[in-house]
Copies of this chain bind each other. A is one copy, B any other.
């Protein structure tokens, strides 16, 4: 990659519109993140690929010195079902910014991603919804394969190119898709069409059905995943890369990851809790502030609340991935998994009751949450 190497397994914070919400680029680097994700769909519509190119690419436009991956925008245009027209050549959609019409084809999307200039670019794919009849899953997969070839042919030489496996929740389709994408000339392979509301079991099935058909030497990226538990369980299955809006979105909503499970800071039990939210965390938030102060900031709708919580949650993910990497190196991933989960699930039951079910959504991968897609997370 242009911007150096990245240690895997790796989690990429989502910087939809050229910013990881509530964070500065310096803060992301301070937590040890080496690569972030940008959304082609959003950046194409605003500020536009032309301006980003004129700025010298997205790295320079936002002043980020680490790695950068852009998705293909395919999912976002497919999410906006009421305004899309799908053809063999591509998809016509309306801009959520000004209502104008646009067309994404594999060639156009690769051209846009080239202008944006990320280190890793993704093939244009069709992410089938969930639930999905098998007939449609076949059709979407076939189109994805066709578009993957055309994307590959249009990909620039100076960017790493990843194909995307589809196939919905069908074992034979996942196997067929994985084999096909593995046959292309790619630098890495993503498993897409997951985290669309199918639940953890079906998601892990999709991984298990795809991975055996993927070459050992290529990086594997599970798109839009996931919870801390999802990350560990996917690394166990051979996944190397992840992205997800959970830590940032939940942070802004007052939901915080801790060693002992996820908590809702707005809960009354934190009113006069003058200790840090996670006694085992050494992040900027936990070193400096109490749960009571954080709760107060949330109640007052203060920007610092989103900043502290987002930082804390991303720091939690960065720490988790670092420990996963260490455990992999030491050949003790399953022991680490057990240790982590024993603590983490301590309060899990209570936590799941009080929080909305957002576990499986990702940037633009949540069909029931269109407002997120349109607003840029």
Quote the shortest CB–CB distance from A335 to chain B (angstroms): 37
Copies in the complex: 2
Closest partner residue, chain B, to A288 (CB atom): B63
| Contact-residue bracket for chain A | 35 or more
Set of chain B residues within 8 Å of A19, measured between Cβ atoms: 297, 300, 302-304
A301 cross-chain contacts in B, Cβ below 8 A: 375
Q: Is A272 an interface residue (CB 8 A)?
A: yes
**Which of B18, B296, B376 is in CB contact (< 8 Å) with A18?**
B296
Q: Output the nearest chain B residue to A300 by Cβ-Cβ distance.
A: B17
Residues in B neighbouring A306, C-beta threshold 8 A = 303
Contact A272–B51 (Cβ < 8 Å): yes
Return A368 CB to nearest CB of chain B, in Å.
22
Contact present for A23 and B54 (CB under 8 Å): no
Complexed CA–CA distance, A274 and B61 (Å): 8
Secondary structure dominating the interface of A: loop
Q: Output the nearest chain B residue to A296 by Cβ-Cβ distance.
A: B47
Q: What B residues does A23 contact at CB under 8 A?
A: 304
Please state if B299 and A46 are interface contacts (CB–CB under 8 Å).
Answer: yes
Selected contact of A293 from candidates B18, B22, B274, CB within 8 Å: B18
Q: Could you say which of B18, B24, B272, B274 contacts A307, with CB atoms under 8 Å apart?
A: B24
Question: How far apart sit A296 and B271, CA to CA, in the bound complex (Å)?
Answer: 37
From residue A306, how far is it (CB to closest CB) to chain B in Å?
6
A319 in the interface, Cβ–Cβ < 8 Å? no
**Cβ of A117 to closest chain B Cβ, rounded Å:** 15
A209 to chain B, nearest CB (A): 38
Kindly provide the distance from the CB of A33 to the nearest chain B CB, expressed in whole angstroms: 15
Tell me if A258 is interfacial: C-beta within 8 Å of chain B: no
- Residues on B with C-beta less than 8 A from A46 are 296, 299-300
Interface residues of A in 283-297 (CB under 8 A from B): 288-290, 292-293, 296-297
Known A-B contacts: A17-B296, A19-B302, A22-B303. Give 10 more (CB < 8 A): A18-B296, A18-B297, A19-B300, A19-B304, A23-B304, A47-B292, A51-B292, A55-B274, A61-B293, A63-B293
**Interchain residue pairs with CB less than 8 A apart (25):** A17-B296, A17-B297, A18-B293, A18-B296, A21-B303, A21-B304, A22-B303, A23-B304, A24-B307, A25-B288, A46-B296, A46-B299, A46-B300, A47-B271, A47-B299, A51-B271, A51-B292, A54-B272, A55-B293, A61-B290, A61-B293, A63-B288, A301-B375, A303-B303, A303-B307
